[in-house]
Amino acid sequence: MLPKELTKDIITRLQSIKGQVDGLTKMLDEDQDPEKILIQFKAAQMGLDKAHYLLLDEVYRKALALKIVETVEACPGNCGNEDKIEFLRKQFPELELEDLTEKMKEISRMKEDLDQINGEK
C-alpha cells in the first residue's frame, strides 16, 4: 500500500533508533551513569517522535496524494464515485494527521472498485 521509495527514509531512521535502543540496553546492563542513560533515552524518544511525524506527514500524506491522483484518473467522470473522490481531493490539504490512515483506506477501496469495474469493460 505504501510505495517503497516513500518508506526508505523512515526505515533508515528506525534502524538508527534501534541502534540507540540497543545502546541503552547495553548501558543498563553495564550499570552506566543514570544521567547518561536518561540523556540517551530522551534522544531515542525524540528520534522516534520525529520518525512518527515524518511517517504521517510525509509518507502517508504523499501516498494518499498518489492514490487520489490514480483514482481520479481511473474515474472517467461516470464511475459513481465522482462526488466522493472530488470531496476527498478538496479535503486533502486540510486533513489532520490522525485522519490520513482512514482516508488512505477509503480511497484505496474506491480505486480497487474502479480497477475491477474498468477491468470488466
Return the closest-CA partner of residue 114 out of 85, 84, 71.
71
What whole-number distance in Å separates Cα of residue 74 and Cα of residue 85?
11
- Which string of DSSP letters, residue by residue, matches 65-115? HHHHHHHHHH--S-SS-HHHHHHHHHHGGG--GGGHHHHHHHHHHHHHHHH
pLDDT in tens, 8-56: 999 999 999 999 999 999 999 999 999 999 999 999 999 999 999 999 8
Q: What gap in Å lies between CA 121 and CA 68, rounded to an integer?
A: 22
Residue 121's pLDDT is 53
Q: In order of start, what are the domains of the chain with their CATH numbers?
A: 4-120 (1.20.58.1000)
For residues 93 and 9, give the distance between their C-alpha atoms in angstroms, rounded to a whole number.
Answer: 23
* Confidence at 89, pLDDT banded by 50, 70, 90: confident
User: Whole-model pTM?
Assistant: 0.75
